[in-house]
Amino acid sequence: MPKSKLKNDLILIGVILSLTLIIFAIYKLNQKDGTKVKVIIDSKEKYCYNFNNDTEVVIQSGKNNQFENVLVIENGEAFIKSANCPDKICVAHRKISKTGETIVCLPHKLVVEITNE
């Protein structure tokens, strides 16, 4: 009896992993290149940039503009070059270019999102 339970468990795990990989592949294949970079600060869209124009922008936020992030858009990709937040997770994030991808800086309440508008 224990061998058949183990076999059934392994089959179930295999089916679940296969379905997960298929869903992930479909999601990745349907993802399109973005055309715009939205900058959202404190849940409000503040800026919108086009991927066609390579640019480097200093984004300031917070009281007295004490928070600073440097957003770079070049070669159809966006990334945070530098930030004065303590953890620098946004700076370590990979470059983004596909619709729906985001870079988030929680201490600064900043979201950089790729859209296709």
Q: Would you kindly state where each structural domain of the chain is located, as residue ranges?
A: 1-30, 36-115
β strands within the chain, DSSP E: 36-41, 44-50, 55-61, 67-74, 77-83, 102-105, 110-115
Coil, strand or helix: which one is 65?
Answer: helix
Report pLDDT for 96.
95
d(CA 114, CA 103): 9
pLDDT band per the 50, 70, 90 thresholds, residue 89: very high
Would you state the pLDDT for residue 38?
95
pLDDT at res. 70: 97
pTM comes to 0.76
CA end-to-end span of the chain, whole Å? 58
SS3 state of residue 17 = helix
The CATH fold of domain 36-115: mini-chromosome maintenance (MCM) complex, domain 2 (2.60.320)
Percent of all residues in the chain with a pLDDT value above 90, rounded to a whole number: 72
For residues 59 and 85, what is the distance between their CA atoms, to the nearest angstrom? 13
How buried is residue 104: exposed, middle or buried, by Cβ count under 10 Å (0-12/13-18/19+)?
middle
Mean per-residue pLDDT over the chain, rounded? 92
Task: Give 17-66 pLDDT, tens digit per residue.
Answer: 999 999 999 988 888 888 899 999 999 999 999 988 899 999 998 888 89
**What pLDDT sits at residue 49?**
94
CA distance 18 to 28: 15
What confidence score (pLDDT) does residue 4 get? Answer: 81
Mean pLDDT of 9-13: 94
CB atoms within 10 A of CB 113: 20
Residue 8 has pLDDT above 70, yes or no: yes
